[in-house]
Each structure stands twice: as structure tokens, then as C-alpha cells.
Copies of this chain bind each other. A is one copy, B any other.
Amino acid sequence: MLDSETKAVELPEDHAEELRLWLRLLTCTTLIEGEVRGRLREKFDVTLPRFDLMAQLDKAPDGMTLSDVSKRMMVSNGNVTGLVERLVESGHLDRRTSETDRRVQVIRLTKLGRAEFRKMAAEHETWIADVFADLTPKDVRELMRLLAKTKASAQKSAGRRKA
């Protein structure tokens, strides 16, 4: 009893440190996401998912299929269907069936959609810069590196599950 702290004792593994890390990561993301969401809403009356979808399309002048979007945004297919529906409705997106495969829907930004997105994106970039304002360039680099490592580790873990 007096010797309960010997190093030989196998504790049932303590992962409290990783748990705290995960919670902190989640907190940061939630915080920033809420901030961006609120500003997009206030200044442009647009939702974050709509903005994200337009951001994907802005990088693809030749358009994307719904599946592509779904993979890139890491959301379900059904989700994209509805999102696209609303953005076509509001005139920001153009949607057409592929010539070579009639299952495929190709979507693009309309002229209006692109113009509005560019305006929003410019402001958005300054908001993000402001969010990270207190980090030094070195901090930013180091964080990028560690998050890359985290992403790789998480993907490996996810792979282990599905396999």
C-alpha cells in the first residue's frame, strides 16, 4: 500500500491529453466558424454553406459535378442537392446535365454568382486575417505543419475503421 506509485503499475492508459487537444481544436473552429457565419449573414445575408459552395466553384471555372462538390466539402450528396437547388433558384448557380453522362449534373457560378462571391471573398479574407492577428508568421507556419500532421493521422485512423 505504501508503494502504490511504482512505475510497474499498468494504468488503463490515460489519453486525457489528447482529449483536451481535441476539445481545444473544436473550440477554436467553432469560435471562428461562428464569427464568419455571423459576419456573412450581417454583411451579405448569405449562409456559410452557400459561401463554401461558391468558393469551391470559384476555383473551378469549368464547373464541377455534384459528387465533386460533395467530396470536397465533406458533406453528404443529399445535402449538396438541396444547397445547389437554392443557389440555382437565387440565380447564383447554373446547372446543366452532362453531354456525355446523363446522370451527371455540372454546376458553375453564374456571372452574378461570381461577382457576389468575389466581393464576399475579399472581405472574408480580412476577417480571417484578423482572427489570426496575434499569431506570428512562425506560429502560423508551425500550426500549418502540425495540422497537416494531424490531418494525416486522422485520415489514417479513419481508414483503419472503414477497412
Interface residues of A (CB under 8 A from B): 13, 15-22, 24-35, 38-39, 74, 125-135, 137, 139-140, 142-144, 146-158, 160-161
Contacts and interface: CB of A to CB of B under 8 A. Distances in A.
Contact of A18 (B22, B29, B132, B154): B132
Contacts of A19: 125, 128-129
Contact of A74 (B22, B34, B128, B157): B34
Given A126-B15, A157-B131, A160-B130, A144 B22 contact: no
- In the assembly, how many copies of this chain are there? 2
Given A125-B15, A161-B39, A25 B147 contact: yes
Contacts of A150: 28, 132, 135, 143
A130 B142 contact: no
Given A31-B74, A31-B154, 13 more contacts: A13-B129, A15-B125, A15-B129, A16-B125, A18-B131, A24-B144, A25-B143, A27-B74, A29-B29, A31-B155, A39-B161, A134-B149, A135-B149
9 contacts: A13-B126, A18-B129, A19-B125, A24-B144, A25-B32, A28-B151, A142-B142, A143-B146, A143-B147
